[in-house]
Amino acid sequence: MSEHVLKVENATMQFGGVVAVDNMNIVVDKGEIVSLIGPNGAGKTTAFNVITGVYAPTNGAVYFNGKKIIENHPQGKMKKLYQGQNAGKYTHVLAPTPDKITQLGIARTFQNIRLFKSQTVFENILIAKHLRRTSNLFTATFHLNGKEEQKMREDATHLLEIVGLKDERNEMATSLPYGKQRRLEIARALATNPSLLLLDEPAAGMNPQETDELTAFIGEIRDNFGLTIFMIEHHMDLVMEISDRIYVLDFGKPIAEGVPEEIQNNQRVIDAYLGGAADE
Ligand SMILES: Nc1ncnc2c1ncn2[C@@H]1O[C@H](COP(=O)(O)OP(=O)(O)OP(=O)(O)O)[C@@H](O)[C@H]1O
């Protein structure tokens, strides 16, 4: 039986009194584009932060290609609170750092663009390629023989061609128009050779034309790079057009899962989200 590329099991993330993610179960299969939607503050980014090792979950586990990569079980008083959810299933804490997650083959973009600001387009890609080899930014640029370095440069050039940024290669990353900065950020994530790509609101701040281009671009990179994509997005046109399946979060809990048509017609979703919070 083939394993899910991503499986989130009973994940709970609590910050003091706020339960940002509440016993969440999600699976994403190979080659799928799956979206995570929900009103502001529903817990979507927190879910990404759990999957990418930014936060160790209060409870639960994350599997990547069938291998458990993250798990936690509550201690002390919390143990009693979460006992019902996993009944002693988890035996130890496994909390890899984000760079270890990247090295496993999971890449991510952020709600706010995070490019290396004082570097060119090409350098942004090259640094990301080095980071796949080592998590240390300083050693990343050393310890390579000429051949390896040459290969990385060729790969970076090739990647810029594929994503349509080769003409901008020597421009400063931050001088690019907004839509292209987003594209560069995705390209930089691709430079780490992921098999799973997490996109956090890739269309945030984009105009309709940029959003249309991005929609096509996400489909293209899924096909060209054999990717599995898990995406948070508020632009419903993009979500409905491109998603194979959609999960809806409300107050940290998944309230629905299904293909776009099912989600559009789900009364609970309409009540919780589409009726009020959608921005389109
Ligand atoms: N580090 C943190 N410390 C305390 N509370 C947090 C932290 N991160 C998130 N939260 C809270 O968790 C809840 C979920 O936030 P989160 O950012 O995950 O929602 P979201 O669905 O991504 O929202 P948006 O669509 O606005 O980006 C919110 O109530 C938020 O205030």
| 13 Cα nearest atom in ligand 1 | 12
CATH number, domain 1-105+196-280, options 3.30.420.10, 3.40.50.300, 3.10.50.40, 3.40.50.920: 3.40.50.300
Amino acid identity, position 37: I
Residues of the chain with CATH 3.40.50.300: 1-105+196-280, 108-193
Residue given tokens 């009693």 in the structure block: 80
Q: Whose CA is nearest to atom 28 of ligand 1?
A: 41
Q: What is residue 8's DSSP assignment?
A: E
| Top mutation candidate among 44, 49, 112, 279 for ligand 1, by most atoms within 8 Å of CB | 44
Ligand 1 centroid–CA 41 distance in Å is 5
The per-residue pLDDT for 200 is: 96
Q: Best mutation site among 15, 49, 232, 251 for ligand 1, i.e. most ligand atoms within 8 A of its Cβ?
A: 15
Give 224-256 as a DSSP string.
HHT-EEEEE---HHHHHHH-SEEEEEETTEEEE
Going residue by residue through the chain, which has 280 residues, state the pLDDT in tens, using 9 for 90 and above: 467 999 999 999 988 889 999 999 999 999 999 999 999 999 999 999 999 988 888 889 999 999 999 888 766 555 555 555 554 555 555 767 888 888 899 999 988 888 888 899 999 999 888 876 654 555 455 556 677 788 889 999 999 999 999 999 999 999 999 899 999 999 999 999 999 999 999 999 899 999 999 999 999 999 999 999 999 999 999 999 999 999 999 999 999 999 999 999 999 998 887 555 444 4
The closest-lying atom of ligand 1 relative to the alpha carbon of residue 16 is 4
Given the candidates 3.10.129.10, 1.10.510.10, 3.40.50.300, 3.40.50.150, the CATH classification of the domain at 108-193 is 3.40.50.300
The confidence score (pLDDT) of residue 278 equals: 44
pTM assigned to the model: 0.87
Q: Provide ipTM, 2 decimals.
A: 0.96
Q: What is the pLDDT of residue 262?
A: 96
- Positions of E strands within the chain: 6-15, 18-28, 33-37, 59-64, 67-72, 106-108, 196-200, 228-232, 245-250, 253-258
Nearest atom within ligand 1 for CA of residue 42: 21
Atom 14 in ligand 1: residue holding the nearest Cα: 43
Give the whole-angstrom CA distance, residue 138 versus residue 158.
24
Q: Which residues have CB under 6 Å of ligand 1?
A: 15, 18, 20, 38, 40-46
* Distance from residue 116's CA to the centre of ligand 1 (Å): 25
Supply the residue whose CA is at minimum distance from atom 3 of ligand 1: 15
Res 279: pLDDT: 45
CA 77–ligand 1 middle distance (angstroms): 24
Distance 104 CA to ligand 1 centre (A): 26
